[in-house]
Amino acid sequence: MATPLKIDFVSDVSCPWCVIGLRALEQAAERLAGEVQLDLHFQPFELNPQMGPGGQDIGEHLQQKYGASAEQREATRAAIAARGAELGFTFTSGARSRIYNTFDAHRLLHWAELQGRQAPLKNGLFKAYFTDGQDPSDHDVLVRVAQEAGLDAQEARTVLASDRYADEVREREQFYLQQGIHSVPAVIVNDRHLIQGGQPVELFEQALRQIAAQRQE
């Protein structure tokens, strides 16, 4: 009998380490098939909540926010691409030229959770931005990805055209900030165990097995 584990995966759709963390978590769960069963919930976190329409050039943004030089940015990009490749995800070189506001994407993810299609939408949004270089604030992009994730395109467009779920998303964002989550990904297991960052598959596997064993004691 697989042990159920509730996972709150706090992340942003424009965070490359969140892609790595999710892929590693998913692969750890595959290794533990029959031992653990993940109840996965994606929770909102905005890396750049003040980002305006149209976004900002990514090089300019990283230099302003982190003081990263062009050489440092390239080294980080290469490291992320290599980790992604190990996990079967393609970070397309040069695809991401801008950083965008992701609040509408989080509203759509909140709706998708109610429809039971949150995970395919999350993975689709990661691919749209990091692999295909598309704008995750563009409603046409969001609707197309939602449809590909098995959601109703017209309903998705209706959600985006309104302010539906805005309050719920902001409340969840504030909750996790108040819990001390200031960087992502943050993986919270059973509301009490925190795994921070884009950790290797082996670390997630070990942690999930240990937490599951504690539940069985």
Q: What is the pLDDT of residues 59-70, one digit of tens each?
A: 899 889 888 888
| Beta-strand runs (E) in 3-154 | 3-11, 36-44, 56-57, 98-99
Q: Which structure tokens are listed for 197?
A: 């960052």
Instruction: State residue 94's pLDDT score.
Output: 85
Q: What is the pLDDT of residues 143-187, one digit of tens each?
A: 999 999 999 999 999 999 999 999 999 999 999 999 999 999 999
Cα–Cα distances in Å, from 148 out to 122, 152, 206?
A: 11, 9, 33
Quote the pTM value.
0.96
Is the Cα torsion angle 194, 198, 199, 204 positive or negative in sign?
A: positive
Q: What is the pLDDT of residues 108-138, one digit of tens each?
A: 999 999 999 999 999 999 999 999 999 999 9
Sheet holding 193-196, edge to edge: 36-44, 3-11, 186-189, 193-196
Mean of pLDDT values over 86-95: 94
Pick left, alpha or beta for residue 105 (phi over 0 → left; psi -120 to 50 → alpha; otherwise beta): alpha
In terms of residues, how long is the chain? 217
Please give the angle made by the CA atoms of 79, 40 and 96, to the nearest 5 degrees: 35
Q: Give residue 217's pLDDT band: very low, low, confident or very high (50, 70, 90).
A: low
